[in-house]
Structure 1
Amino acid sequence: MPGAHTPAVREFLADPAAGTARVAAQLRRYWDNALEPYWPQIRGLLESEVLRRCRQLARDGAGTMFNDLHPNISWDAGRLMVRTRAWRRSGPLRGDGLILVPSVFHWPDTTVMAEPYQPMLTYPAPGVATVWQQGTVPTTEALDALIGRTRARVLVAIADPVTTVTLARRLSMTPGAVSQHLTVLHAGGLLSRHRSGREVFYARTTLGESLCVAS
């Protein structure tokens, strides 16, 4: 096996418990430096994507949902097709079906996993650029004059269902301030809210969408 006799492998095999502890410590450092600062945005984006796809599936069916996921993915007459350069496979999905995995790290293509593993389709989550975007949300003078500049920024920033914490991070505002504006916008019929577990997601209503488009 390539690499089986490298110093790192020999050190691990000599004391697997200590090796496992070192790996866990390295993963922890990676989490603290690379992921933890952005985790509220990442989790919020992925949860809103899952919620949006569930609604789309229930409302419009599998064909519409799959055809909207990614240019590499298409659905035609009950057949799912995924274009990939890695390998070719055709046939029915077995076992527990297909798991859809939105990702903020895999872009711009898709990846596929199949038997003997659980079939899995990973695709780039829409809006991934907003994970690292903070503060800048363009609005118009008309919308600013109608509902106020800060509330206009909040309304425009909610392109997809989002939580208060994620939106606060995106806008470089405190969660408390964002929550106050969300409450007013919701009371005015510009936002709807939906609870998923312990999280509350806000989304623009038809009226809220029309204001953003009209402005």
Structure 2
Amino acid sequence: MSITWVLRPEDVARIRFAFSPMWELVASLRTLQQPARQSIHLPWLKAVRPRLAGLDLTELLALVPPAGYLADFVTPPPDTPMPDFAAELDRVRRTSPELAHAEAGELAGLAHAEAGELAGRDPAVLERFMADPEAGVARVADALEAYWEKCFAEFWPRVYALLERDVLGRSRQLAQGGARELFAGLDPAVEWTGERLMIDRPWCHQGGLHGDGLVLVPSAFYWPSVAVMSAPYQSMLVYPVLGVGTLWEQGPPPAPGALAALIGRSRARILLALAEPSTTTALATRMSLTPGAVSQHLGVLSGGGLTVGMRLGKQVVYRRTPAGDTLAGQP
């Protein structure tokens, strides 16, 4: 079974990348329910388990069961490349009661059909939500905000840095090799024929996009699976982020002694980290340095012809020059 999207030339031209703090937050609810599925996130789980006391996640877990369909309104597709959590939460709060009722109703129907076999799909909780979906959306948004503040906000910079590296690397891949090269390396569940994008998922759908292009969203907490959204939402494909195994590593990678002796340990680590383009903020998080210190080091590296900055929207993204690649030992 698979989803097949027909991409016209204008759809291919409108492929864009984004990442979403709300998507990661909601996906982490499944990690809470099925820790064995994502043992890679055990360091995060151990840190947040004690913080769950006092949080009422009952309604959220009914809308986001451990497997299968989840209520789409809690994960609106990102409408900018780098949305912040507050903006995405506001979009959730503005969900129409009719849409929320319909999506909760679909979950309730699945819960009854499965006779409660899947934990989290509690028909009584969903029916309470459906009785007053406007109030239900408000409660769910409040629960998302509380969960974010208590269990996720402090970890977001680390996740952000990983997602940013993936987006910058794949954007370069798309620019250099086109859609064929991009989709070939995205995930084994995704196949591109030159006209059709086929995604291996447990339900069938065939058709074109809806004139809105395609948003590609990397995810650490939905890893290793893929997910899709389509009408009435922006067409979106969620795929597993690269490098998720490094997410909870402590500290930056060490710098080789000779390179550190030549240009300094912090600058050597930054130069090595720029194997993939990155912003000052992401580098600061990864290097455990202040943004100001990273900016100073980048100034020296750029002055020496080893790195160069390029503006991407409101962000300045740094990458190594060929001379920087040579010094870092890369061909």
TM-score, length-normalised on structure 1? 0.80
Identity level (%): 49
Unpaired runs of at least 5, structure 2: 1-107, 113-121
SS of the aligned residue for 1:182 comes to: helix
Q: What is the match of residue 188 of structure 2?
A: 71
Q: CA deviation at 1:62?
A: 1.0
Greater shift in the superposed pair: 70-79 or 188-197: 70-79
Instruction: Supply the AA of the counterpart residue of 1:147.
Output: I
Q: What is the match of residue 142 of structure 2?
A: 25
- Cα deviation, 1:155-185, whole Å, max 9, x if unaligned, reads 1122322222221121222222222111111
Q: CA deviation at 1:151?
A: 1.2
Q: What is the match of residue 217 of structure 2?
A: 101
CA contact (8 A) 1:134 1:171 kept: no
Q: What is the match of residue 112 of structure 1?
A: 228
Q: CA deviation at 1:192?
A: 1.8
Q: Distance in 2 between matches of 1:213 and 1:31?
A: 41
- Cα deviation, 1:124-157, whole Å, max 9, x if unaligned, reads 1223344433413122222222222221111112
Greater shift in the superposed pair: 60-69 or 108-117: 108-117
Higher RCO structure, 1 or 2 (CA under 8 Å, sep 6+)? 2
**Hey, which bits of structure 1, 4+ residues long, moved more than 6 A?**
none
Q: CA deviation at 1:15?
A: 9.9
Q: Distance in 2 between matches of 1:12 and 1:82?
A: 32
Given the alignment of the two structures, is residue 153 of structure 1 paired with residue 269 of structure 2, yes or no? Answer: yes
Q: What is the match of residue 279 of structure 2?
A: 163
Instruction: Supply the AA of the counterpart residue of 1:69.
Output: L
SS of the aligned residue for 2:278 comes to: coil
Given the alignment of the two structures, is residue 43 of structure 1 paired with residue 43 of structure 2, yes or no? Answer: no
TM-score, length-normalised on structure 2? 0.55
Q: Distance in 2 between matches of 1:112 and 1:10?
A: 28
For this pair of structures, how many residues does the alignment match? 212
Q: What is the match of residue 251 of structure 2?
A: 135
Q: Distance in 2 between matches of 1:214 and 1:200?
A: 23
Q: CA deviation at 1:4?
A: 5.0
Given the alignment of the two structures, is residue 201 of structure 1 paired with residue 317 of structure 2, yes or no? Answer: yes
Q: What is the match of residue 87 of structure 1?
A: 203
- Cα deviation, 1:62-109, whole Å, max 9, x if unaligned, reads 11111122232232344333333x123445444423321111211112
Unpaired runs of at least 5, structure 1: none
Q: Distance in 2 between matches of 1:11 and 1:45?
A: 35
Q: Distance in 2 between matches of 1:43 and 1:87?
A: 31
Query: Compared with structure 1, are the counterparts of its residues 149 and 5 closer, same or farther at alpha carbon in structure 2 (3 Å cutoff)?
Result: closer
Q: Distance in 1 between matches of 2:163 and 2:156?
A: 10
Greater shift in the superposed pair: 126-135 or 194-203: 126-135
Instruction: Supply the AA of the counterpart residue of 2:225.
Output: D
Instruction: Supply the AA of the counterpart residue of 1:65.
Output: L
CA contact (8 A) 1:72 1:110 kept: yes
SS of the aligned residue for 1:32 comes to: helix
CA contact (8 A) 1:133 1:170 kept: no
Give the alignment's Cα RMSD to 1 decimal.
3.0
